[in-house]
Amino acid sequence: MTTVDESLAAAADVLYKSLKENTTLAEYFGENVEELGEALRLFLEPAFRDGSADLQINDDLFTQDSLEALVDVVLEALQRPLPLDEDSLVAALRVVSTDFSEDDRIAEIFAQLRQAVSVEDNEEADEDATNRGKGSCVTAQDVITDSLDELRLPKKQAQEIIDSWGAFLDSYATRELAGEAVYTALFDSAPSLQSLFKTPRAVMSMRFMMGINQIIMALTDPKQCKIVIETLGFQHLDLEVTVPRIAIFRDAILDLVAAEMGSKLTNSAADGLAMTLNYAGGGYIYIRQKFSERVRILTSSWRTANGEVDEDEAEEDLLAAEEEAAEEEIDEAAENEEEGAGKNADKKLSEKEMKNQQGVPTTYNEMFRFNAAVMGFANNNWMFEVLNSFDAMVKNIANSYRLQEECDLLALKMAKIPGAVKLGDYKAVMLASIRSLVPKAWDSAHEVAWNWLWDNVERMLKKDLDKPAARERYLGRFLGSLEEDTKQIIRQEVYVKFFALAPGGQDYFKQSTTRLYFIADKILDMSLDMYKEPTRMADDISALGLRHVGYGIPTEFFGPFVTGCVEVARELTGDETLTDAFGWSLGLISRVLTRTINEGSTIVMKAINTDNAKQVKKAISCAPRGKRAIWMLNITVGTQSISPLLWSISSGSLEAAEMMITDLLAIRADRDRYYYGLDELFSRHPDIVQVLTTDAPNLLPKMLDCMLWRSRLAVNGQRRVNYYIKHLTVDEEGRFADAMSWIYKLEDPSIATHEVLVQLSDLVWNKITYASFLLSKIWLLWTLVVFLFSQSIIKNLNAELTDGHRIVIFACRTFVYMFGMAEVMYSRTKYLCKACADGDLVRVGRFPVPRRYLEDWQEILSVVLTLCLTMLFWTEPILYCLYAGGDTPLFAGDCDGAKGVKGFYDIVSLVSMLCYFSLLIDFTALSTRLSAFVLLTGRVVPELCLTLGACAYFVITFGTSITATNGKNEDFAGIPNATITLFQILMKTYTGSKFDELQHSPWIMVGTCTFVVLTSIFVFNVLIAQLNCAYQQVFNSMVGYARINRMKIVCESMPSISARRFTRFVTSLRFDERLEFGEGDIGLSGGIQVLEAASAHPSNIDSILRFGGSTSPAMPWPEDEDLGSSEAERLERIAKNFQNAVRKMTKTSRSQSGVSGSGGDSMEDISMVK
């Protein structure tokens, strides 16, 4: 029996479908399906006031004449003045309900409804029951709700259904679009069903598609089909599934498939599809009637036993806690004043806290271990394997497919534990533990439910509990005895069988043959490892399944692949015991993979595979606002997880990744709180900056843009700017973050000049590294000054050195050797040892050298300086003179004993001076302008070197060529003289009188003039052009390179900063304090706020997306069409809105003028708009 509300909703759906098919009213049907359905129910409600409920719902519920009469009434209502802010058809139906209630045409509609009360045919029902008892097949019209037998269709009909369904899916570009079509067809035909589904449209459409597809693909296996129906039925326990709703659902899908397939849909396939949908709906009703109460008891008592709460309750508690914390923060002063009054009040501990203090178990795991010890089962290790899997079993009791998988894995694990297994012992301990944890609610219904649970688990475990050991031995011996030729046969035949069973699989196996053979070998190894190490293999297979989510491989191919593998093993060995062991292991692997892929295939992952920003945005929009970030950052299946964002980056779906970063780091707000995914992003991926710099540098500026907030309001000529740089400054362990290091290694000047990075580098530089850097360079400067006095200044003060001068020189050189040389030797040796320990070496020829020697010119200069100072010490003339003795003055350096080393000493001293001054270039880092100039100079030096090389080439070429002539000139007598002369000409030091002498040697004159033209005119003008182009190219980036240099210095200086000093620095930034977005508007923490000039970055757009309405974290955000949209998408949306406006104005004008013809003119107008 159906209720009045159900019959009313079903009749409204039929009327909706009939009116929509009417060509006269078709143009008035818009997108307000739910409002229109509600208006139709209000219109039909008077016909059900007598309590009649049982209607025979079908498309012939209303006659054609009565429908035409109703259309005329509606058209009359449309001509009346209607509210402008309401859908015209909805408003017209409200007018019909109130003003036309006494009209004869409306009375005729109500009379037909009252006459449609169905009378049960008891004899026909008895006959159907008899036929079902005899095992007859279900017909296309039957919805059986009192049993759930196997649906046995003829093999040919089942295959026709599968083929037709596959063709229907192939008619759409993707399965998601097919799901959207099913969803639209269903709710367009039955608006009343929309109230049953609270899940977002994108998620629900995908679930429709996956569920129907699972049922149809299992039609050839009645037992498997029944398991699928049972699993889906348990998932629909919370829905009020009724026979009229099943009929509506069935007819909507059949109409859609028929419309799409046309004549390709055979009568047999159509009848079979209707029978299948009826079978599924009846199964849902049967399971709900029989098992819903048991599942509810198990679920609620299990949560109680483990101290868990529903997600909705948890969100409400979290909201209450946040509100309470905010109130406490605001009223802190008032609370402090009242502290004395409540000072002596005792705070009562909760019951759970008191139990914890007394050592009483409070969770099922604790209580089970306690009871097992008390009952003498503490040494039964197999019990604790069951305990580890028991949570998954209880939570999946409504999913028989998953429950069987858990029991099979548990059987493998228990087979590895020695000792006898008595499953009844676990049941005794389990019941005792549950009773202790749920004492108040425990009753006979709980006893029945938990016994039923364990009976199912025990039945599944006993079936395979004693078989894994024998199967492992058989399979191990077989795989160990395989020779290479036999393995090659298996590799080839597996794919031959698979492609024969599933031809569509060839489209997904695109790798080379060697790769396919490698996969086949891995499958053989995995089949044996599943017996040997079930725990590890379960985790590895879950991880493999999550990777397959990103590949987008349909799970339907796993079954045929396993079948092909088993057939190859059977044909090769003919041993059924071996085949059973091999097939059982592969079947379990296939089930785990399928389940992992299905659970991990969220709408976000499916959208990522399309790499379409619009699809990703549509998928994300379904997420609850409190879990929106999690949808993009974490998909967990069992012990394994995958990040959709990271997968999109690594797989090259950068358009999808950009959309997710933009959405994740958009600041949204309702009345209660702000939502910003920056903390979640860096908590899930602390190395996200490294990932972006390595795999997607173009996305890094997008992420940095979202870490900056700028107020659109200026106060007193200044504007608030918030830089959320906490995670770029300090990592989770309180140390300096590696983000800056990863960014400077990218060496992208455009990124280095980003506002956020400029603020970050300047902040760290000015507050913490400036002093240490300056101190280290001041020491270098002081050492240079002392070295300069000892080598150059003092000895040139007078023609002859006095004793005082020599003493000062000796003291300065002693300082350089004892402190300067010792310091550079220590630092170079320390770095060399560290590079060797870390393996940071590269080979130059046969010799390994630290990598930094080849990448950092300053490091090379430091090594050269170290060697030079060492050679200066060993060749010091003063030491030689002291050793020689005689009448040489004290600390003299020009005695006869030092003549042998004096020349070498002077050259090394020259090189050392050059190294010291070159190392002082680091001082330019104190100013980005100076640093940019130095870097710019360094960038154009290669052009100068090329020019000098060209000049050297011309000097040698013409020097050797001129000497081959018969000309007589002393300056060109021999190749050395000729090249020296040409070099003088090149450097403009060759006098004019000597040019006059060249006139007596015509060939020398010709060669010299040609040389001058090529070098002075051509080569140097080319140099000017090259320098100009190089300067223009580098000029725009020189500030960026200066910033990169500063960031490099900061990162290299940080290891010398003490942890205590860095902690003080981080504390001074007060990252934990929430920053203001405006006066009295306390926003987000994790950043710093600065004030900038209002004219620096003028803007009138609020970058915070603010929304009204409900503030529940479980509610999704209203869709923001502009976020992440391109200019083309915005223009397309404007054009669409304009077309809708034109269409609505056309309808309004026609309804007011009484026109009821076709919409040709309006469509013509709209086509002109296009």
Identify the weakest region by mean pLDDT among 1-5, 126-130, 556-560, 1075-1079. Answer: 126-130
More confident residue, 90 or 642: 642
1088 bridge partner residues: 723
More confident residue, 880 or 387: 387
pLDDT score recorded for residue 1066: 92
Q: How confident is the model at residue 724 (pLDDT cuts 50, 70, 90)?
A: very high
Q: How confident is the model at residue 340 (pLDDT cuts 50, 70, 90)?
A: very low
- Length of the chain in residues, anyone? 1170
Main-chain dihedrals φ then ψ at residue 441, nearest 5 degrees: -90, -10
Count CA atoms closer than 13 A to 243's CA, side-chain side.
Answer: 16
Q: Is 724 left (phi over 0), alpha (psi -120 to 50) or beta?
A: beta
Q: How confident is the model at residue 1160 (pLDDT cuts 50, 70, 90)?
A: very low
pLDDT score recorded for residue 530: 92
CA 294, 296, 300: angle at the middle one, nearest 5? Answer: 120
Q: How confident is the model at residue 1087 (pLDDT cuts 50, 70, 90)?
A: very high
pLDDT score recorded for residue 333: 40
Q: How confident is the model at residue 359 (pLDDT cuts 50, 70, 90)?
A: low
Identify the weakest region by mean pLDDT among 272-281, 570-579, 781-790, 1156-1165. Answer: 1156-1165
pLDDT score recorded for residue 964: 79
* For range 1046-1052, the mean pLDDT: 88
pLDDT score recorded for residue 760: 93
Q: How confident is the model at residue 49 (pLDDT cuts 50, 70, 90)?
A: low
pLDDT score recorded for residue 757: 92
pTM of the model: 0.67
* Matching residue, tokens 């077989």: 478
More confident residue, 776 or 274: 274
Burial zone of 778 (CB within 10 Å; 0-12 exposed, 13-18 middle, 19+ buried): exposed
pLDDT score recorded for residue 1122: 57
Distance CA 913, CA 868 (A): 10
* For range 449-472, the mean pLDDT: 87
pLDDT score recorded for residue 357: 46
Task: Give Cα 924 to chain centroid, integer Å.
Answer: 41
Torsion of CA 887, 892, 897, 901, to 10 degrees: -170
More confident residue, 795 or 193: 795
pLDDT score recorded for residue 338: 43
The sign of the dihedral angle between the CA atoms of 755, 759, 762, 768 is negative
Instruction: Check pLDDT > 70 for residue 116.
Output: no
pLDDT score recorded for residue 661: 92
Identify the weakest region by mean pLDDT among 85-89, 290-294, 339-343, 790-794. Answer: 339-343
Do residues 909 and 872 touch, judged by C-beta distance below 8 A? yes
Q: Which helix (H) or strand (E) holds 637?
A: strand 635-637
More confident residue, 136 or 673: 673
Percentage with pLDDT > 70 across the chain:
83
| Amino acid found at 339 | E
* For range 213-238, the mean pLDDT: 81
* For range 517-535, the mean pLDDT: 91
Whole-number mean pLDDT of the chain?
A: 80
Q: How confident is the model at residue 1090 (pLDDT cuts 50, 70, 90)?
A: very high
Percentage with pLDDT > 90 across the chain:
13
Identify the weakest region by mean pLDDT among 51-60, 493-502, 658-667. Answer: 51-60
Distance CA 586, CA 561 (A): 10
Identify the weakest region by mean pLDDT among 189-198, 515-524, 806-815, 1161-1170. Answer: 1161-1170
pLDDT score recorded for residue 681: 93
* For range 511-536, the mean pLDDT: 90
Long-range contacts of 938-942 (CB under 8 A, 24+ apart): 939/1030, 939/1034, 939/1038, 939/1041, 940/1027, 940/1030, 940/1031, 940/1034
CA 434, 438, 442: angle at the middle one, nearest 5? Answer: 95
With residues binned 3-state (H G I as helix, E B as strand, rest as coil), the percentages for the chain, rounded to 5, are 70, 5, 25
Instruction: Check pLDDT > 60 for residue 1169.
Output: no
Would you tell me the crossing angle of helices 513-532 and 576-600 to the nearest 10 degrees? 100
pLDDT score recorded for residue 1167: 37
669 bridge partner residues: 674, 1106
pLDDT score recorded for residue 1149: 61
Q: Is 641 left (phi over 0), alpha (psi -120 to 50) or beta?
A: beta
Instruction: Check pLDDT > 50 for residue 1095.
Output: yes
Do residues 364 and 305 touch, judged by C-beta distance below 8 A? yes
* Matching residue, tokens 């390179």: 1041
pLDDT score recorded for residue 743: 92
* Matching residue, tokens 């913490």: 768
* For range 134-157, the mean pLDDT: 70
Residue-wise pLDDT for 765-798, tens only, equals 888 888 888 887 888 888 888 888 888 888 777 7
Residue-wise pLDDT for 840-863, tens only, equals 788 877 788 888 777 777 888 888
| Helix ranges (DSSP H) in 696-769 | 700-705, 726-729, 739-746, 749-752, 755-764
pLDDT score recorded for residue 145: 80
Q: Can you point out the beta strands (E) in 911-1039?
A: none
Distance CA 966, CA 972 (A): 11
Of 312-326, 484-498, 1027-1041, give the range with the top mean pLDDT: 484-498
DSSP state of 45: G
Residue-wise pLDDT for 1016-1026, tens only, equals 888 888 888 87
Distance CA 242, CA 184 (A): 20
Q: How confident is the model at residue 1127 (pLDDT cuts 50, 70, 90)?
A: low
C-alpha Rg value of the chain to the nearest Å: 42
Sequence-separated (6 or more) residues with CB below 8 Å from residue 1116 = 200, 621, 622, 623, 624, 625, 628
pLDDT score recorded for residue 12: 74
* For range 1140-1158, the mean pLDDT: 58
Torsion of CA 402, 408, 414, 416, to 10 degrees: -130
* For range 301-315, the mean pLDDT: 69
Residue-wise pLDDT for 629-688, tens only, equals 998 998 888 777 888 999 889 888 888 899 999 999 999 999 889 999 999 999 999 999
Buried b (16+ CB within 10 A) or exposed e, 1107-1120: beeeeebeeebeee
Identify the weakest region by mean pLDDT among 32-36, 273-277, 826-830, 926-930. Answer: 32-36
More confident residue, 989 or 1132: 989
More confident residue, 956 or 185: 956
Do residues 919 and 865 touch, judged by C-beta distance below 8 A? yes
Distance CA 661, CA 644 (A): 11
Instruction: Check pLDDT > 60 for residue 401.
Output: yes
| Amino acid found at 1145 | M
| Amino acid found at 658 | E
